[in-house]
Amino acid sequence: MLAFFFISLTFSLSITAKTTGCFDNKRFCFELTPSSSSLYLVSVQRKVELPVALTLYSNVMQDIPTGNGELKSKAHINAFLDTNDQVPLGVVKNADAFWASMRVKWTVGRVDAIHDNAYTYLPPLQPASKYRIVQGFNGNYSHSGASRYSLDFAAPVGTPILAAREGVVIDTKDDGTKGGPTPKFAKYANYVVILHSDGTTGEYYHLKYKGVVVTRGQTVKRGQLIGYTGNTGFSSLPHLHFGIYVAKFHGKYVSVPFSLAKTSAGNTH
C-alpha cells in the first residue's frame, strides 16, 4: 500500500470546486482533498469490493510533494485497486483544470493473476457437440493480439450460456442493441465477465439485448446459467465469444491459453 505524508490544512480553498468523480456505476471514485500550499490531493478508492486496474491521465497532475517541496509533473499513474483503502495518486493546483483534463482507462480483474493451467473449463454451450467452433485460437478474422486465445461458438440467438468455471460476476452489460462486422460496433457488445479464484476472468461476449441473468457481485457455480447468446457488438453472425483474460493497465488485457473439457470430438483446445 502506498504511504504518504500530508501537512495539515492551513487555509480554505473554494468550496464550489468539484471534489468527487465516480466511474463505471460507482465502481471507483476519485477524490480531491484540499491540502496546504494551495494544492488538492488526488486519490482514488474502489466502491465495489472487486479488483480493478486503472490508469489516470492528466496534464495538470504532479507528484505528491517531497521534503524539498519540489513538484514534478506526471502524465499518467497506474493504480491496482484490490482493497478498500484510499490510494493517493498525486496533487493538482486547480480542481476544475484537473476534471477538464483527466481521462481514465480501466480493466476489471487482477494484474497479478497467474492462470491455473491445470483447470479444465466446461464448454459454455451445451451439449457441446451441437455448437461448432467457427473461430479458434489465432483466428484470422479477429482472434489476434490481446484476444488471440479465444473461441467463437456459432449459436442461434437465445441459446443458454453456462458458466465455464465458478467465480464471482465482476462485470455485465446487456443494453446493446446493435451488431455488425466492423470494430465500430464493438461498443454495443453485451457481455458477462466472471472473476476466477486465480485472478483471471472468463469473458462471454455478444449476448442478446437484455440477455444477462446474473448481477455484479453474484457468486456463480460451474455450469450455472448466466445469459443468452446474441449478435451484438463486433459480430458478423450470431455467436458466443469466450476467452480467459488477465487485466493490464492502460485499459488493456491479455488472453491466456486454456483447455475445454473433452465432451465430443473437436471440442478440446
pLDDT tens digits along 186-224: 899 999 999 999 999 999 999 999 999 999 999 999 999
The class of domain 120-260 in CATH terms is: mainly beta
**pTM over 0.95, yes/no:** no
| Whether pLDDT at 232 is above 80 | yes
CA 210 to chain CA mean position, Å: 20
The set of cell numbers assigned to 160 is 443458454
| 60-105: pLDDT as tens digits | 998 887 665 566 777 899 999 999 999 999 999 999 999 999 999 9
DSSP the chain: ------PPP-S---TTS--EEEETTTTEEEEEEE-STT-EEEEEEESSSS-EEEEEE-SS-BPPP-TT----B-SEEEEEE-SS--EEEEEES-HHHHHHH-EEEEEES-TT----TT-EEPPSSSSGGGS-EEE-TT-TTT--GGGSSEEEEE--TT-EEE-SS-EEEEEEE-----EESSGGGGGG--EEEEE-TTS-EEEEE-EEEEEE---TT-EE-TT-EEEEEB--EE-SSSEEEEEEEEE-STT-EEE---EE---STT---
Domain limits, CATH 2.70.70.10, in the chain: 120-260
Task: Answer with the residue of higher pLDDT: 4 or 58.
Answer: 58
| Residue 30: strand pairing partners | 21, 44
* pLDDT level of residue 146 (50, 70, 90 thresholds): confident
| Most confident listed range (8-12, 68-72, 128-132, 265-269) | 128-132
| Whether pLDDT at 251 is above 50 | yes
| 23-62: pLDDT as tens digits | 999 999 999 998 766 889 999 999 999 999 999 999 999 8
Per-residue pLDDT at 18: 80
Q: Report the amino acid identity of residue 76.
A: H
| 173-188: pLDDT as tens digits | 999 999 998 889 989 9
Give the range among 12-26, 102-116, 152-166 with minimum mean pLDDT: 12-26
Average pLDDT of the residues in 9-15: 34
Average pLDDT of the residues in 152-173: 97
Domain limits, CATH 2.60.40, in the chain: 20-108
Per-residue pLDDT at 4: 29
**CA neighbor of 28 nearest in space, from 92, 82, 91:** 82
Per-residue pLDDT at 268: 35
| Whether pLDDT at 237 is above 70 | yes
CATH code 2.40.50 for 20-108: no
* pLDDT level of residue 263 (50, 70, 90 thresholds): low
Per-residue pLDDT at 68: 58
